[in-house]
């Protein structure tokens, strides 16, 4: 242990105010301005409050307690807290930010009980050992970690701003897609693109798997504009026996079920499972334009889904989706602007990764 540091139980350095928590069922909540907190953050806003101050909340049940999960977070001001989060008031000789960083950095699995409903009981919470440096060192550690986490948050905000810029450029160049205020010719997708679905090779035939052909599922689309690899690959035999059609580079993946509305552009040739209706553009459409046109239209796309067990957009319905057709030269100009934005995002993402590595190393240095 570092010189001058002590190890104390969490219960020794805080007051636990769980007895003051009050849960409110959703039907009994009245809408208001005060945050209603649960295990991992704001659950709602209500018209009254039971706490007024600064507290550290730690998930009791319904949370995640692995390393770097949001198992703990600080609240401040007037609020309401339900019975899914422990509420802690830290003593004056220890920083609540230091304790928050520590708890979030640690894997708390060993303190969790309950097979059906995992839970961090108050008794277990009290027993968690906490490193307590001298107060001046606590302040220095928190200042350093706050600085690094602030840089990461600022860069993540920059990524969101660049995504918003792409949307803004699209509207400036092409107008609002729904009203088509620029008067572009409107055609159904079947006239200007080929819609290609997919399938899943039999999972019990080993010869179909671990091949060299990329094969994508909707679960692999996490909001990125492009996809360059897949979690699983299939063999040539699987392609032939399953009668799969290859999606060329620049295909726009469109998830058509579970869930509907995810979009992505392929950067390598690949195949897909049956959860997609993919758009392969003709010479009248640029993939970047089609992606931006479909992006964010989840509500509309969901309205096209049919089915009793689960909703799905059929190939016939996808082919009927109408799309304005601006000049391809204008679409290409848009794509060039997007390329510059994506290059900038790539640099920011790399910077985030480097800062996160530094942040994690400092956390490890202080707390391990």
Q: Are 221 and 227 in contact (CB under 8 A)?
A: yes
Are 155 and 345 a contacting pair, CB within 8 Å? no
DSSP-derived letter for residue 236 is: H
Structure tokens that stand for 109 in this block: 């699995």
Distance CA 339, CA 288 (A): 9
Distance, CA of 84 to CA of 131 (rounded, Å):
26
Per DSSP, the three-state class of 161 is helix
Distance CA 288, CA 338 (A): 8
Stated length of the chain: 368
Q: Which helix (H) or strand (E) holds 323?
A: strand 322-325
Element (H, E) at 57: strand 51-59
Judged on CB neighbours under 10 Å (0-12, 13-18, 19+), 194 is middle
pLDDT attached to residue 1: 62
For the chain, count helices (H), then strands (E): 9, 18
Strand blocks (E) in 271-336? 271-272, 278-281, 322-325
Q: Which two tokens stand for residue 368?
A: 């391990």
pLDDT computed for residue 177 by the predictor: 84
How far apart CA 35 and CA 85 sit, in angstroms, is 14
Q: Which residues lie closer than 8 Å to 148 by C-beta, 6 or more apart?
A: 355, 358, 359, 362
What is the separation of C-alpha 35 from the centre of its chain, rounded to a whole number of angstroms?
22
Distances (CA, A) of 215 to 107, 161, 162: 34, 32, 29
Cβ neighbours of residue 68 under 8 Å, at least 6 residues apart? 104, 105, 360
Averaged over successive runs of 10 residues, the pLDDT of the chain (368 residues) comes to: 88 97 92 96 96 97 91 96 96 96 94 92 97 95 97 97 96 91 95 97 96 97 95 97 96 95 97 97 98 93 90 96 97 98 97 96 90
């Amino acid at each position: 242990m570092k010189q001058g540091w002590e190890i104390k139980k969490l219960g020794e350095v805080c007051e636990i105010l769980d007895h003051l928590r009050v849960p409110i069922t959703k039907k009994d909540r009245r809408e208001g301005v005060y945050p209603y907190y649960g295990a991992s953050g704001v659950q709602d806003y209500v018209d009254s409050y039971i706490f007024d101050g600064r507290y550290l909340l730690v998930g009791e049940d319904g949370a995640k307690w692995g390393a770097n999960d949001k198992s703990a977070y600080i609240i401040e001001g007037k609020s309401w807290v339900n019975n899914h989060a422990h509420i802690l008031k830290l003593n004056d000789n220890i920083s609540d930010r230091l304790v928050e960083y520590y708890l979030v950095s640690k894997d708390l699995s060993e303190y969790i009980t309950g097979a059906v409903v995992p839970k961090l009981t108050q008794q277990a919470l009290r027993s968690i050992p906490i490193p307590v440096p001298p107060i001046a060192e606590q302040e220095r550690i928190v200042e350093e970690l706050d600085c690094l986490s602030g840089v990461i948050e600022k860069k993540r905000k920059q990524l969101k701003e660049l995504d918003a810029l792409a949307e803004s450029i699209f509207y400036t160049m092409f107008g609002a897609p729904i009203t088509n205020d620029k008067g572009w010719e409107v055609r159904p997708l079947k006239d200007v693109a080929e819609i290609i679905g997919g399938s899943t090779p039999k999972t019990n035939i080993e010869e179909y798997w671990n091949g060299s052909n990329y094969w994508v599922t909707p679960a692999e689309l996490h909001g990125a504009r492009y996809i360059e690899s897949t979690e699983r690959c299939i063999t040539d035999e699987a392609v032939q026996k399953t009668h799969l059609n290859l999606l060329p580079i620049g295909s726009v993946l469109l998830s058509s079920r579970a869930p509907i509305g995810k979009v992505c552009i392929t950067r390598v040739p690949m195949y897909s499972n049956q959860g997609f209706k993919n758009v392969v553009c003709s010479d009248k459409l640029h993939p970047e334009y089609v992606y931006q046109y479909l992006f964010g239209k989840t509500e509309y796309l969901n309205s096209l889904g049919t089915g009793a067990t689960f909703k799905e957009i059929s190939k016939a319905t996808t082919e009927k989706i109408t799309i304005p057709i601006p000049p391809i030269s204008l679409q290409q100009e848009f794509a060039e602007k997007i390329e510059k934005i994506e290059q900038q995002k790539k640099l920011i993402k790399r910077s985030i990764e480097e800062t996160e590595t530094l942040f994690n190393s400092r956390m490890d240095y202080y707390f391990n």
